[in-house]
Structure 1
Amino acid sequence: MVAQAIERLSAIADRYDAFLIDQFGVLRDGRGPYPGAAETLARLKDAGKRIIILSNSGKRSAENDRRLVDLGFVSGSWDWFLTSGEVAWQILRREGESTVGARRKCLLISRDGDVSPLTGLDLERTTGGADADFVLLAASEGDVYPLSHYETLLAPAAARGVPCLCTNPDKVMLTKEGTAFGAGRIAELYEELGGTVRWIGKPFADIYVSALEFLGQPDPTRVCAIGDSIEHDIAGAVNAGLHSVLVTTGILERASDEERRQLFAEHGASPDFILPKFIW
């Protein structure tokens, strides 16, 4: 399938009842909102569409929701901000309810000292891999630390066969200074060290199951996912049976058409449409 180039989102909006929209790379980058993104989101909502912001963020939904409003997006211009962190938190809560015995020790890998992925869970936080019962990989500080920092931290856990839950599969992240390795790259490192990883978020099924349940199990062909990552957004949409739009902002902003085509082939996923930026 050859993706159709479109100039504006309004060209295809009437074809769909619901949209799953990525945050970083579509609505904003590491510095702030893209020009026109807030207005476009509001106009899409005003057109009667159901909208889920679908993000590979290790933070929970409510925290991301507040942040988007603080950045100038109109409150109420989306129905739910669903994050991989929220899906993982719900999984851990259910597991905790069925677990009997001592509290499990969790090695949390997050950003800026954030401990919110553990808030409300019956877990004990530990700071090293030597005594952890599992690793929760929520975010990367790849713009602060080299990958070797994480290797030193995680190697003892991997050697002991400790499972890892990665709640942000993105291998590249956008920062104020540009790109850096994301939590997904750290999860790959954990596998290279011999550890096992359960991946939560795009392109994996759990987050799409939650999104489609929230929407009332609509016809998948009437749902469109919009993202900047072929590996995560486009492949995830294809696997879930949804239509998709690739925006050429975000992590592939400098990629050529040929480089994008190579990625379509590599990941076995091609978008239905290509859009220069998220604009109405």
Structure 2
Amino acid sequence: MTQIILALSEISDRYEAMFVDLWGCVHDGVKALPEAVAALQAYRRAGGIVVLVTNSPRARAGVEKQLDHFGVPKDAWDSIATSGDSARAAMYRGVVGQKVWFIGEDRDTRFFDPLSIIDNPVEIAQVDLKEADGIVCTGPFDPLADPDTMRPQFLYAKQKGLKLLCANPDIVVDRGETREWCAGALARLYTEMGGESLYFGKPHPPIYDLARRRLAAIKPAIPDQAILAIGDGIHTDIQGAMGEDIDSLFISGGLAATETGTSDHPDPDALKDYIQREMSNPTFTIGKLR
């Protein structure tokens, strides 16, 4: 059974590094969460390393700009690993072909910027669905629209045998008080319809490989038992940590605030029921990162 804690400082001295989710933990999609920022700053002052591990489809530089915009100071983290970076590397290695149909908002078209770290990258062209070899999805065209609106296109894509590259496995996020659909919801639908979806963010291994490389560039040879994963996604952050055999801190006041009875702290009985129902086992739980 998970251990409920009241502050990160209760357990932080057990870990040399932390893999920390962003949305719902450090910011709410609109602004920084001050208590979370203060907790990470205190951890870093004590010698800990913070790698922000996010399912954002953006490149690391784009996420850093977003953090500045939200008011997350640079002394609260050391490095960033994004689902977008991991997925872009796979795209430029040709995992969904050269001609791709893009699903996403206009702001995410920088996903197709050149990537210098790949040797002999595939030349990618954005085309209409009828001409495509594969699909690249950074999110819905409209994050407020029901994913089912994509069924006609997905039926056609499945019949053509197209693979879908999912740059953000999250199903939903809360932007302030508004819940929005993410690319993971479309990839889940495509898979349920019989299509093949490829994932590169949490809870899947590629993003953890990238996070470990980011960590090793700062301090080599930190063992997994000295890493704590923090996040509010039971099926992304916590499931991913369990799969990587690293300890986890579940933020119950994020996506699962209602299910866990969390206002400031989780209701123990509601939390127990929730994690049992979701077949999860976070090492620790806290209402909000503080």
* TM-score, length of structure 1 as denominator length: 0.89
- 8 Å contact kept, 1:159–1:193: no
Determine if the alignment matches structure 1 residue 175 to structure 2 residue 175: yes
1:116 partner letter:
R
Name the structure 2 match of 1:6. Answer: 5
Q: Determine the C-alpha separation between the residues in 1 that align with 2:287 and 2:237.
A: 16
Paired residues in the alignment total: 272
Q: Determine the C-alpha separation between the residues in 1 that align with 2:205 and 2:52.
A: 16
Counting only pairs closer than 5 Å after superposition, residues 33-112 of structure 1 correspond to structure 2 as 33-95=32-94, 104-112=98-106
2:179 partner letter:
T
Counting only pairs closer than 5 Å after superposition, residues 130-141 of structure 1 correspond to structure 2 as 130-141=130-141
Q: Determine the C-alpha separation between the residues in 2 that align with 1:136 and 1:260.
A: 36
Classify 1:177/1:112 alpha carbon distance in 2 versus 1 (closer, same or farther; 3 Å). Answer: farther
Name the structure 1 match of 2:280. Answer: 269
- Distance apart, 1:177 and its partner CA: 4.1
Q: After alignment, is 40-49 or 262-271 more displaced?
A: 262-271
Name the structure 1 match of 2:226. Answer: 222
1:117 partner letter:
F
Deviations 1:90-144 (A, max 9, x none): 2223348xx9xxx811112123442011111621112x32221111111235543
Q: Determine the C-alpha separation between the residues in 2 that align with 1:218 and 1:246.
A: 22
Identity of aligned residues (%): 28
2:245 partner letter:
G
- Distance apart, 1:40 and its partner CA: 2.2
- 8 Å contact kept, 1:129–1:155: no
Q: Determine the C-alpha separation between the residues in 2 that align with 1:85 and 1:143.
A: 17
Name the structure 2 match of 1:207. Answer: 207
Counting only pairs closer than 5 Å after superposition, residues 107-186 of structure 1 correspond to structure 2 as 107-120=101-114, 122-126=123-127, 128-141=128-141, 143-186=143-186
* Residue ranges of structure 2 left out of the alignment (5+ in a row): 116-122, 261-266
Q: Determine the C-alpha separation between the residues in 2 that align with 1:143 and 1:90.
A: 25
Q: Determine the C-alpha separation between the residues in 1 that align with 2:256 and 2:65.
A: 27
Q: After alignment, is 145-154 or 166-175 more displaced?
A: 145-154
Classify 1:143/1:172 alpha carbon distance in 2 versus 1 (closer, same or farther; 3 Å). Answer: same
Q: After alignment, is 259-268 or 177-186 more displaced?
A: 259-268
Q: After alignment, is 24-33 or 231-240 more displaced?
A: 24-33
1:195 partner letter:
G
SS at match of 2:34: coil
Counting only pairs closer than 5 Å after superposition, residues 246-265 of structure 1 correspond to structure 2 as 246-256=250-260, 257=267, 258=269, 260-265=271-276
Q: Determine the C-alpha separation between the residues in 2 that align with 1:263 and 1:181.
A: 22
- Distance apart, 1:179 and its partner CA: 1.6
1:123 partner letter:
I
Instruction: Please provide the CA RMSD for this pair.
Output: 2.1
- Distance apart, 1:259 and its partner CA: 5.2
- 8 Å contact kept, 1:221–1:242: yes
Q: Determine the C-alpha separation between the residues in 1 that align with 2:198 and 2:175.
A: 25
* TM-score, length of structure 2 as denominator length: 0.86
